[in-house]
Structure 1
């Protein structure tokens, strides 16, 4: 019996790419805009430890999966997330060049991740599914709206597109493992509420910390532009909100948002060839 729900034509395998962003991150790389740069940088700060926790949570159930297709996708998921963690760790190290207190920000998030790592396996996996939903929805939005990265440097644009492509490819892997090994719909939805709180909390705190270093924390103009970017026009979070909330529906599954054509289009434009 096939448990994997990854559609035909979608390949969950890592691409061994490297992005030298050291020079880009010495600048306000997103169109010389302090808020947009800080927002994307704030997201990156959560990825190295967050994606390692995703790997750990799935590994706790890997041996219980018999479906060969899903077992292969778990290997691909782990490979993709490990490379994302590596590239965003280098990304975050490069942020130190601008004088950001990255070590302090890391300690704050690592403390939270240590707490998550002590939860029962079912809750860790439910948390992974919830967090993967956020990354999948944001990934879809980045691929669908390339104008949201308009003005970004070419290397940074390519890094975020690569991450978005692979998050889309493996968006159902942890979910399928959860559905097979845990299957508790109430737990899935309750844990998602906690994931939501922490996702927005750490993104907001990190954005504020980065803006403070830039001397823009109390800039009304910076915040007005930022709020417009997130909730006004284009309103990237506002546009994503219906998809975020879809996770709370009974019977939800990530591939109910079937964006294979968008994925294929971006793969052609990205021109990375076949995954290794």
Structure 2
């Protein structure tokens, strides 16, 4: 019986692309805007450890999956996440070279990840599903609203598009493993509350740490612009809110939001981009 729900036309395969963004990260690469740059950099700082934990959580159950399609997608998922981790490590090293205290930020998040790694396997997998939902919703929004990256350097826009495409492609892999091996709807929802708290907590703390180094932490203008970006116009978080909350629906599944056409369009544009190599 096929338990993979990845629809026809979507392939979960890693793309071996390298991005040299070290020069871009020497400046406010997102339209010379301190907050927008810090917000995306804050997300990047969570990816290497976070995505390694996603891989570990899925690996705890992969031997129990008999569906060859889902097994192949698990391999693709691990490959994609490993490459995301590699590229964001390079990204974060470039931030460190610029003078940010990345070691302190990493240490703070690593303590949390160590705690997560000691949870029961079912909770680790439920946490992975919840975190993957956040990345999938944000990925969809980045692909649907290219204006959100307006003003970003071409290489950075390309990196974030690549990451968003692959997060969309594998958005149901951990979920399908959870549904087959755990299937506890109540646990899925409860763990999502914890994931929500931690996702916003570490994104906020990281953003503050970066802005402090930039000398912008107490800048009212920076924060007003940032609040407008997230909640006003364009309203990054505001526009994502209904999709975030959909996770609480009974019988929710990531591919109920079928964005294959959007994926296809962005794949063509990624392949044509000179920054992708």
Both proteins in one fold, TM over 0.5: yes
Which stretch has the larger CA shift, 264-273 or 194-203?
264-273
Q: Secondary structure at the match of 2:64?
A: coil
Distance in 1 separating the partners of 2:166 and 2:272:
12
Deviations along 1:75-117, one digit per CA (max 9) or x if unpaired, are 0000000000000001000001221000000000000000000
Distance in 2 separating the partners of 1:94 and 1:267:
27
Normalising to structure 1: TM-score of the pair?
Answer: 0.98
Normalising to structure 2: TM-score of the pair?
Answer: 0.98
Unaligned runs of 5+ in 1: none
Deviations along 1:215-267, one digit per CA (max 9) or x if unpaired, are 00000000000000000011010000000000001100000110000000101
Task: Give the equivalent residue in structure 2 for 1:104.
Answer: 104
Unaligned runs of 5+ in 2: none
Aligned length: 273
Distance in 1 separating the partners of 2:112 and 2:272:
35
Deviations along 1:173-215, one digit per CA (max 9) or x if unpaired, are 0000000000000000000000000000000000000000000
Task: Give the equivalent residue in structure 2 for 1:170.
Answer: 170
What RMSD over aligned residues (CA atoms) do the two structures have, in Å?
Answer: 0.8
Distance in 2 separating the partners of 1:249 and 1:202:
25
Distance in 1 separating the partners of 2:153 and 2:233:
22
- Structure 1 residues 49 and 97, CA, compared in 2 at 3 Å: closer, same or farther? same
Distance in 1 separating the partners of 2:28 and 2:251:
42
Task: Give the equivalent residue in structure 2 for 1:226.
Answer: 226
Task: Give the equivalent residue in structure 2 for 1:196.
Answer: 196
Distance in 2 separating the partners of 1:146 and 1:113:
32
Distance in 1 separating the partners of 2:65 and 2:97:
44
Q: Secondary structure at the match of 1:63?
A: helix
Distance in 2 separating the partners of 1:49 and 1:96:
16
Which ranges of 4 or more aligned residues in structure 1 deviate by more than 6 Å?
none
Distance in 2 separating the partners of 1:176 and 1:37:
34
